[in-house]
Amino acid sequence: MAKKIKAVCFGEILWDVFPDSERIGGAPLNVASRLSSLGVETEMISRVGTDEKGEELLSYLRSKKVETGNIAKDADHPTGMVKVSLSAGGSATYDITYPSAWDKIELTDAMVDSVRNADAFIFGSLVCRDEVSRNTLFNLIPKAKFRVLDLNLRPPHYSKELLLELMQHAEFIKFNDDELFEIAGMMGSKYNSLEQNLLFIAVKSNAKSICVTKGGYGAVVLHDKKLYYNSGYRVKVKDTVGAGDSFLATLIAGLLQGDEPQTALDRACAMGALVAAREGANPDIPAPSLQAFINPY
């Protein structure tokens, strides 16, 4: 039986506004939703407006069995909205409304207790674009047992100084391949290969584990000084929104529950592929469907 674990996700919860629809999203919310579906006791720390959209987000998270007690309501700022544009290949670009309620997450003792009692604390860089949420995050990070940083870069909402500081506080860092090369360049790397830059960052940061996703070509993970690879799974992509978030959730859940790193990586890549093959960030993917996709014979 898998070990019971608890995770806390910190940051933006919002609505992705597509040309033809509005969908619930935000990287931390997507990670939390997937973690909960994988049997992880999951909590969100965030903030919504006192509006209908905020209530819908809270109802959605509760339906996914994600604890919402540390999601505050803000009478002065609206629930977050993001305009999403998709390329012909399904890749997304984002126009993120500022300020939103999730920019103003204020520290409470209850948040500190939740982070202190969790097995993993998962956060990204976007939530740091406003000093209120940024200060709260940096107060919570020292309380965490295991700190997971999902870079999730969204220009222009980050700086070199911020990213390097976040990386020094993380024990697990997830990049996509573009982010890896951008960050490695910021840190002075002269290398061209993905693996060399991954190892370069491992030496320059305090991270014990680093993961780099490569879109449809899978991912590579450095864990306990060993590299693990998955070359990806072929699917017809509908949109990539949330695929990386479900990948990260599945990988972290597997590692914390004691799976072998290769097994955790294979499951994570399969989950990311299945999400990309469906519309929306959080499609329902039961465990039997995931396993059948990995081993169809």
Residues 110-141: tens digit of each pLDDT: 999 999 999 999 999 999 999 999 999 999 99
Give residue 2's pLDDT band: very low, low, confident or very high (50, 70, 90). low
pLDDT at 237 over 80: yes
pLDDT value for 140: 98
Residue 252 resides in a domain? yes
Looking at the structure, do residues 188 and 41 belong to the same domain, yes or no?
Answer: yes
Residue 3 resides in a domain? no
Looking at the structure, do residues 76 and 189 belong to the same domain, yes or no?
Answer: no
Q: What is the pLDDT of residues 14-28, one digit of tens each?
A: 998 988 889 999 999
Looking at the structure, do residues 180 and 212 belong to the same domain, yes or no?
Answer: yes
Within 8 A by CB and 6+ apart from 221, the residues are 209, 210, 211, 212, 227, 228, 251, 261, 265
pTM, entire model: 0.94
pLDDT at 90 over 70: no
Query: Of 60, 88, 103, which marks where a domain is finished?
Result: 103
Looking at the structure, do residues 85 and 209 belong to the same domain, yes or no?
Answer: no
pLDDT value for 281: 81
Q: Which of 62-71, 248-257, 286-295 has the lowest mean pLDDT?
A: 286-295
Rounded CA separation 87/239 (Å): 9
Looking at the structure, do residues 142 and 251 belong to the same domain, yes or no?
Answer: yes
pLDDT at 159 over 90: yes
Looking at the structure, do residues 283 and 173 belong to the same domain, yes or no?
Answer: yes
pLDDT at 68 over 60: yes
- Identify which of 234, 245, 251 has the alpha carbon closest to the alpha carbon of residue 282: 245
- Residue 130 DSSP class: S
What percent of the chain clears pLDDT 70, i.e. is strictly above it?
Answer: 98
pLDDT at 96 over 70: yes
Output the CA–CA distances (angstroms, integers) from residue 218 to 177, 211, 215, in the order listed.
Answer: 10, 11, 6
Q: Which of 88-102, 166-180, 213-227 has the lowest mean pLDDT?
A: 88-102
Q: Which one is predicted more confidently, 2 or 97?
A: 97
Structure tokens at 94: 């984002």
Mean pLDDT of 248-272: 97
Residue 86, beta-bridge partner list:
92
What is the extent of the structural domain holding 88? 12-27+46-103
Residue 5 resides in a domain? no
Give residue 1's pLDDT band: very low, low, confident or very high (50, 70, 90). very low
